[in-house]
Structure 1
């Protein structure tokens, strides 16, 4: 009886998105570890297979793990990237750990990559004021989602480079952490949304997180698919994040880096989880995708180059 309960619980953990269980705490946390659980389950099946009495259990473990493998392979699959063009947009997304990331290191990255847009989660006026003098002369403008005096961890900062053009940026209250939405300029009718969702690490947090990701999904299904960049606190294994797919897709798709961890940066890249994303319109060509360590942050940054379809 105990083994049956364990197998049922394991199946629920590995396939919570299909069973619509991963939107409740603590399944939200377990679903994020799906790649690691899949590997562990497959290893257990292989270890038990030579033991005659354990072969039925090994078979069930193999079936449970095997059903999860195709989704993992899709994220690990690498396809040839489109050729780069001078018209490509470069986007950098980074969580800066309550404004404690190393501004000098981030400024060096910005100087090297010259992104057209930079979406910074957990950043406010204090972080903005420390960063901007370090990139003075590069032509960047900055917007902050929160009011002066509020803590950096509650905010989002958006930087736009000279190629972004005459953009309009507004702060919105729909998410738990206020977001920023840019339109116009090089974006045209399309929006670029710098977002940070609530962490689903408590029962109350899961409710906020579900609401936040629900807003992202609704925006993705708008008349013109947006770009959404930031810390989503969700992996591709969460059913609610999958609801963005269709009009949008992750820029990581086809790069072979969909399973590379962006959090926590203290762990090896194979050991963490991929919760920072840049979602782009489905027909977008991705010409570069890189996961970058940023000193002082517990997240790795995403640096991507994209060629947008016509809006």
Structure 2
């Protein structure tokens, strides 16, 4: 551990798991001879408190109402999962949500083949494997210099009904002992990467940050990223976006995001299923206020 922020990150990520462990120990303790009843009660109360604290978002985000006559741009962020056995099904489910702009992490050749035919414009960092990453759009895309931080980040300007910059990001998973080949990085490295995205978004007011950020809404870097900004997912029902294995939902891993300027209107934001992936996608209709 390098700082108190590492401890805070680990506890924020693992908090629901600690709650579940409290329940397990309480059940075992209830049958353990000689264990005081108050100890079991404390474990149960602690477990309930931790679960509510983790599952219930800190606050629901409130979006400004849409301005009259301003067209919307539907943005979808989804992780394909490089082990997906239904790549073309994943691509078909993306198209079925009728987005205007799509951010795809862990992009495969099969998904690229479908999406590059379904969308008129695209920019990719690479195709294939866990580092595959691309943006697909019905509107023209202008490539901008990409940040040099961790993970895969595509920086583009979208020329749609209104112009905006898009930081399409797939950040590494934060761990204590990193293995870059497994898509992980140290806790402080991940925080620095999110801080860089937050700073870039502050410099250019009309910027959207979208993708698999591997960042729960309980972590300190999430608060940096959303300071003065709006997480589209939080304007709707903030469900877990990383169900993963059967027991993962208990961890309430809301780690995929579409973050927009606070004065933008967000409508219809929701977490959606995408075929074959271990993630769910986040989609939202965005409207920039008239100048």
User: Whole-Å Cα distance in 1 between the matches of residues 262 and 243 of structure 2?
Assistant: 28
1:232-247 → structure 2 map (5 Å cutoff):
232-247=213-228
Q: Residue 175 of structure 2 aligns to a residue in which SS? A: coil
How far residue 244 of structure 1 moved from its aligned partner, in angstroms, is 1.3
Q: 1:284 to 1:263 in 2, by over 3 A?
A: same
User: Whole-Å Cα distance in 2 between the matches of residues 86 and 282 of structure 1?
Assistant: 17
- Residue from 77, 86, 104 that aligns with 1:93: 77
Q: Which runs of 5+ in 1 are unaligned?
A: 1-19
Match for residue 274 of structure 1? Answer: 254
How far residue 43 of structure 1 moved from its aligned partner, in angstroms, is 10
Q: Residue 174 of structure 2 aligns to a residue in which SS? A: coil
Query: Which deviations, in whole Å up to 9, do the C-alpha atoms of 1:9-65 show, x marking residues without a partner?
Result: xxxxxxxxxxx83435xx5344213345457769999xx9xxxx6659957985897
- Residue from 242, 247, 251 that aligns with 2:232: 251
Q: 1:182 to 1:99 in 2, by over 3 A?
A: farther
Say if 1:94 and 1:119, in contact at 8 Å, map to a contact too: yes
- Residue from 137, 148, 155 that aligns with 1:160: 137
Do structure 1's residue 112 and structure 2's residue 96 form an aligned pair?
yes
User: Whole-Å Cα distance in 2 between the matches of residues 219 and 187 of structure 1?
Assistant: 23
What root-mean-square deviation, in Å, do the aligned CA atoms of Structure 1 and Structure 2 show? 4.0
User: Whole-Å Cα distance in 1 between the matches of residues 12 and 129 of structure 2?
Assistant: 29
Say if 1:265 and 1:293, in contact at 8 Å, map to a contact too: no
Match for residue 242 of structure 2? Answer: 263
Q: 1:189 to 1:160 in 2, by over 3 A?
A: closer
Q: As a proportion of its length, which structure holds more strand? A: 2
Aligned length: 277
Q: 1:261 to 1:70 in 2, by over 3 A?
A: closer
Say if 2:16 and 2:250, in contact at 8 Å, map to a contact too: no
Say if 1:96 and 1:122, in contact at 8 Å, map to a contact too: yes
Query: Which deviations, in whole Å up to 9, do the C-alpha atoms of 1:252-297 show, x marking residues without a partner?
Result: 123122xx22114333784241111111111222211222222332
1:166-185 → structure 2 map (5 Å cutoff):
166-170=140-144, 172-185=146-159
Q: Residue 33 of structure 1 aligns to a residue in which SS? A: helix
Q: Which runs of 5+ in 2 are unaligned?
A: 30-35, 179-184
Q: 1:142 to 1:247 in 2, by over 3 A?
A: same
How far residue 69 of structure 1 moved from its aligned partner, in angstroms, is 4.9
Q: TM-score, normalised by structure 2?
A: 0.75
